[in-house]
């Protein structure tokens, strides 16, 4: 019973754009297999329930454009020949959804995390700073979106992929965000559809 209660606390922590999971790492359970997740040293914990695949482009966008469909909870990287790479993502929960067109203004490997002031007001228990690394809630990579506070970033909580749990950021597994990071250039157009 104690383990179930602690898992409920871990699920509550997943309700912010990025919240430390390191305190709950020994209790992380894969929701499909019900087995403990293990950290392989790269910050990857478990496997995403959504697999990356090549699909038809979701519209007429230029190659290199990122299209985030928050309803589908999918991110598309537009390729040549009417194709796209389709990734699973976690999106903003009710009240934290947004849309618009921006660009990737910065990219960071193993980024540090400083929760925005609005998040700290909601969650004063969060740290004011967390250095990059496997336990950092931004995961292995982050792509910063325009002048917003939002990012496309990795996550050490893969079970949140496909869910609406963040404070507006778009989460990916660490493996998927590394793949996207390596394919996308600063300046890439990002279209967020609601």
User: Strand order of the sheet with strand 100-109?
Assistant: 53-56, 83-88, 74-78, 66-69, 189-193, 100-109, 141-145, 151-153, 170-171
**Structural domains of the chain ordered from first start:** 2-193 (2.40.440.10)
């009710």: which residue's tokens? 94
What end-to-end distance do the CA atoms of the chain give, in Å? 39
Verify whether residue 169 is a known catalytic residue: yes
**Residues constituting the chain:** 194
Q: How far apart are CA 64 and CA 62, in angstroms?
A: 6
pTM for the whole structure: 0.75
Assess contact for 83 and 54: CB atoms under 8 A. Answer: yes
pLDDT tens string, the chain, 194 residues long: the values are 444 443 333 333 333 454 443 333 334 444 444 444 444 333 344 556 688 999 999 999 999 999 999 999 999 999 999 999 999 999 999 889 999 999 999 999 999 999 888 889 999 999 999 999 988 999 999 999 999 999 999 998 888 999 999 989 999 999 999 999 999 999 999 999 98
Among candidate residues 163, 8, 157, 24, the one with its CA nearest the CA of residue 88: 163
Verify whether residue 17 is a known catalytic residue: no
Q: Residues 153, 155, 156, 176: which is the catalytic one?
A: 153
Q: Residues 17, 67, 169, 184: which is the catalytic one?
A: 169
């Amino acid at each position: 019973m104690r383990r179930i209660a602690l898992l409920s606390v871990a699920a509550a922590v997943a309700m912010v754009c990025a919240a430390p999971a390191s305190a709950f790492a020994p209790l992380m359970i894969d929701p499909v297999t019900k087995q403990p997740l293990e950290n392989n040293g790269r910050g990857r914990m478990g496997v995403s329930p959504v697999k990356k695949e090549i699909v038809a482009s979701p519209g007429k966008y230029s190659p290199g454009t990122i299209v985030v469909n928050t309803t589908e909870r999918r991110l598309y990287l537009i390729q040549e020949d009417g194709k796209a790479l389709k990734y699973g993502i976690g999106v903003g929960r009710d009240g934290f959804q947004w849309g618009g067109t921006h660009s990737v203004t910065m990219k960071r490997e193993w980024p540090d995390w400083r929760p925005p002031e609005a998040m700290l007001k909601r969650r004063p228990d969060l740290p004011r700073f967390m250095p990059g690394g496997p336990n950092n809630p931004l995961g292995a990579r982050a792509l910063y979106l325009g002048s917003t506070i939002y990012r496309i970033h990795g996550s050490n909580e893969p079970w949140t992929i496909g869910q609406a749990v963040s404070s507006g950021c778009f989460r990916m597994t660490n493996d998927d965000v590394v793949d996207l990071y390596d394919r996308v250039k600063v300046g890439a157009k990002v279209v967020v559809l609601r």
